[in-house]
Amino acid sequence: MCSIRQGQLFWSFLKQYPPVCASLSAFTYLTSYNIFWVIYVELKEVAKETNRINDNIEKVIRGKRQTVELAVTSFICGGHILIEDMPGVGKTMLAKAIARSINGSFKRIQFTPDLLPSDITGTSMFNQKTSDFAFSPGPVFANIVLADEINRTTPRTQSALLEAMDERQVTVDGIAHMLPEPFFVIATQNPMEYHGTYPLPEGQLDRFMMSLDLGYPDIEDEKDIIKSQQITHPIDQIAPVASIENILLLQDAVRRVYIDESLVDYTVRLVTATRDDKDLVMGASPRGSLAIMRASQGVAAAAGRDFVLPDDIKKVAVAALKHRVFPKQQLRMGKTPVKAILTRILEEIPVPVEKKV
């Protein structure tokens, strides 16, 4: 295997001569258990790259390392995140910091009741010079898209993101337009304000790989935030520590991380338990199992491992499931947090242990 730089050169060659490289992109080797596909990017390089991105983002988002790591994990896994939190805790800065860290494009969409689907996806406009219609891309055509207060717009406009999030394309006038890669949506909503809002339907919530919250900083971190913004904002000092080509290589490498059959079974039992739990009226779908699997691969790769551990699954399970399950009415009225229910389920499901040979 080779380094990130060698991977970049290979990627450039692959784009220029795809037929020649089709048989060279990876190779296989056999073990007594499985066939592994080995990618040209070492997982140690993945760990170094993700750590550089995390450290860079922490220059802006202080004291929230775990949330930053989960957000970056979702990004390198090709997923999207939903942030439900109070205003002013750094949701927009998180999105900007990720975009600047990879030298990618960033667009913010402020969702309002009068926003139209074409305001997001773009529209065809008549060009008088050519006497023809030309497509004018909307703000969704960016590497990092912040969908701010997504629950303040109508369901019709909310659904405009569905095709973009799932298929990495938008269709306008019957013509599909591919979105740039990588493509990462960070949607936000305020959990305390419900007047004049349109709650996201379950089908759209299920499209997000994780649901995160930043929360208020502690006293010392808030002091650091005030001092760091006394003259200029730290976001203005953020320099790229990765490239678009690197991220595409990382996303491909993450999918090669091995997950044992026992951990697949463990994941399915966790998700199945949410469907049968006495405190939940609706459990997670199979997409929840896929989200846990993919996110745990990202955690393992970020740690420099080519295999998933049970702790990787535990680290991402709550974030991957809490927006996919719904507690019973009496528990919602009693303010029983979904996190507490999912944590209890995690404690009840036995973790697979290594078999002695």
Residue type for position 287: R
Beta bridge mates, 30: 35
Structure tokens at 49: 């790259």
Which DSSP string corresponds to 295-352? HHHHHHHHTT-SB--HHHHHHHHHHHHTTT-EE-HHHHHTT--HHHHHHHHHHHSPPP
pTM of model > 0.85: no
| DSSP state for residue 128 in the 8-state scheme | T
Least Cα distance to 214 among 94, 79, 74 occurs for 94
Which CATH number applies to 43-256: 3.40.50.300, 3.30.1330.10, 3.60.110.10, 3.30.70.1170? 3.40.50.300
183 near 141, Cβ under 8 Å?
no
- pLDDT digit string (tens) for 20-59? 344 334 433 333 333 333 444 467 788 888 999 999 999 9
Domain residue limits, the chain: 1-40, 43-256, 258-357
- H/E stretch holding 137: strand 132-137
Out of 13-27, 85-99, 307-321, pick the least confident. 13-27
pLDDT recorded at residue 19: 42
β pairing state of 106-110 and 144-148 = parallel
CA 13, CA 263: separation in Å to the nearest integer?
37
- pLDDT digit string (tens) for 151-174? 898 988 888 887 788 888 898 888
Beta bridge mates, 126: 133
Place of tokens 């784009």: 15
**CATH domain 258-357 topology:** Helicase, Ruva Protein; domain 3 (1.10.8)
